[in-house]
Structures are given as C-alpha cells and as structure tokens.
Amino acid sequence: MTVTIYDVAREAGVSMATVSRVVNNNTNVKPLTRKKVYEAIEMLGYRPNAVARGLASKKTTTVGVVIPDISNTFFSEVARGIEDIANMYHYNIILCNADKRKEKEIRVINTLLEKQVDGLLFMGGTVTDEHRDAFRTTNVPIVLCATSEATNTYASVDINHEKAAYDAVTLLLNHGHRQIGFICGSLEDTNNGLARYNGYKKALESAGLEMREELVRIGNLRYDSGIDATKYFLGLEPRPTAIFTATDEMAIGAIHAIQDFGLRVPHDISVVGIDNIRMASMVRPQLTTVAQPMYDLGAVAMRLLTKLINKETVEDTRVILSHEVITRNSLSHVYK
C-alpha cells in the first residue's frame, strides 16, 4: 500500500542507501543515478516517512510551542512570528494551549518531549520549580518567550516590563497628570503584574510622588475588567485625570467606561495602555500605548531556538527587545 524507500530503490535499480542520499540532497551521487531515482520517486508517488526518518536520525524538525491561549490576540501575534521563522528554517510547530495553568503546562511539556521535538518554546506566566524539574529531564534546547523566570538561567526573549510601565507613567507625568489611576494585573503574574506595578511605582517616586493604594486596582487583563476598575475610579473624589492600564484591552475598556459615563477621552480623562495590539488603533480615540514587538518576540525566540538546536554559539541568550511609546489620541495634557 504505502510505498517505501525500498520500493523506490528496486524501481530505480539502486540500493536504498542511494535513494536516501538523493532524498536528503547528499553530495556524491552520480547525476544519472540521481535522475533515475527521481523518476522512480515520481512514478511511484513516493513520500518520505518523516516518522521513520525521525527515529533513525533522532531529529524530527518539529518544535513544541506551549502558549497560554492562542485566541488571545497578543499571543496569536507572537505565534505568527514563531511560525513564520520556524517555517523559514523548515521546522514545524506543535502548538499547545496551557492557559497559564501549571499542571497543564507541565503535562504538555512532557508530551512534547515524548514526541521528540527538537526544541521547546515556552510562553506562560511564571516558571516555577516544577517547570525547572520538567526542563531538567531533557537535553533539548528551551527558550522562554514573554515569560518571566527568576533565576535567569534559561534562554529567553522578552521586553523590560518594568521599564515599559515606567515609561508610560512618565509620559503621563510629563503631560501634567498627578492623579493617575492604575489598573494592574495580578501581582502574582510577574510580567504583566508585578513588574508593571513596580514600574508605575518607581515612575511616581522619580517624580517625587507617593503611590496611593486607592489609585491602584487589580484587573484580569481583559476588557471587562478594564471597565469595572474604571467605574470605580469614576466614583473617586477627586477623580483621577488619567488612567494607566497594564494591557491595551483593559485600556479600551477604560475608554468605553469613561465614555459611557458621559465623559470624554482624553479631554476629561487620559488613557494609556501597554501592548499595542491591533485593536489599539481601532478605537476612538485611538489608544496611546507602549508597544511590545509581538511578532518579533516570537520571531526572535524561534530564531534563537534554531541556533541552539544547531549548537551554534550565540553571544547572548537572554535578549530584551525594546518597547516603544506610540502616541495616538487618548492622551492629552491635564486641563486644570
């Protein structure tokens, strides 16, 4: 039924070793024999069995990708970067959603390893000791992407989240804002939570301001929670003149909550986010935000992984990509 390398060999009147050579573009095959083999392949409709090849060569040309949620626009953008570069280097990716749930992350890491992936790209909340235990059981290269890891012992690519938040708040400060509401992620979430929280705090301190707890709300990074937190801010006396959020989605929620309340953005309240998801320029007013290079995060991580897989020497395995303030229309000077 299925045609194997052996059938091709017989058809072409050569040995299977020779067929293997031409299929793998090995040098040292006489042009004529090469041609005969190609013809046999063509006429039999031979398709190499990558599984058998993987077993024999111990390389599968596939990498495992664990991702929190592919339907999240931030991660799907990163995933596209990953896949494009993977494709460029002739790797395929096995994609696993893990929702930042530790047990599921560990589980998929193990099945990915069972599948003999050549490398592992991990995106998730935070790397714990259990993760490290799982990573330790293998020799395949691992790179962390948009993920925080305390001991800094793995290859990784990310942005400086604290600095990004710091820059955003400083921007607000420079526009005269002093009452800046902050919708933060959970402080257990190192990147979106704690790091950005620290950035907010430090920016305030740099300006000689004290952080006030009543101006900080914890959200879940999503649109609705941006709305909810903003409603709270709207009830404050005095009201904040600006709202900074740890994600663009929450920022968009903030904008709408303000508008639904009958106020204007940025005239009455300015709003600044982080991420620069596509949607950020698909709101009115368009969102001023700190851009993360989402596609590049994935692309660079994947490129790094290919180098690691090929045992190329790489100068720096901990790469920080730069973020960038994107000025649009949701921010203005404070009106006294």
The residues near 5 (Cβ < 8 Å, ≥ 6 apart) are 16, 19, 20, 23, 46, 48
By CB under 8 A, tell whether 55 contacts a copy of itself: yes
Between residue 16 and residue 75, which ones bind DNA under the rule CB under 7 A?
16-18, 20-21, 23-24, 27-30, 32-34, 46, 48-49, 52-53, 55-58
What would the x/- binding string for a copy of itself be over residues 61 to 90, using CB under 8 A?
Answer: -x------xxxxx--xx-xx--xx--x---
**Closest alpha carbon to 143 in 153, 156, 125:** 156
Q: Does 174 bind DNA (CB under 7 A)?
A: no
What tokens appear for 153 in the block? 């012992």
199 in helix, strand or coil? helix
Query: Minimum CB separation from DNA for residue 66, in Å?
Result: 22
With CB under 8 A as the rule, give the number of residues binding a copy of itself: 49
CA nearest neighbour of 273 among 294, 246, 242, 255: 246
Helix (H) or strand (E) holding 40: helix 31-44
* 247 close to 182: Cβ distance less than 8 angstroms: no
Minimum CB–partner distance for residue 198 and a copy of itself (Å)? 29
- Separation CA 136–CA 286 (nearest Å): 45
- Under 8 Å between Cβ of 307 and 118: no
Span from 8-16, 141-149, 192-200, 320-328 in contact with DNA (CB under 7 A)? 8-16
The item of a copy of itself, DNA, none sharing an interface with residue 197, based on CB under 5 to 8 Å by kind, is: none
Minimum distance of a copy of itself from residue 88's CB (angstroms)? 12
Question: How far apart are the C-alpha atoms of 45 and 86, rounded to whole Å?
Answer: 27
Site for a copy of itself in 11-30 (CB under 8 A): none
Q: Give the Å distances, CA to CA, from 100 to 128, 147, 190, 250, 299.
A: 12, 10, 12, 19, 21
> Residues in the site for DNA, rule: CB under 7 A?
2, 4-6, 13-18, 20-21, 23-24, 27-30, 32-34, 46, 48-49, 52-53, 55-58
Residues that bind a copy of itself (CB under 8 A): 45, 47-52, 54-55, 60, 62, 69-73, 76-77, 79-80, 83-84, 87, 92-97, 110-116, 137, 223, 252-253, 256, 259-260, 278-279, 282-284, 295
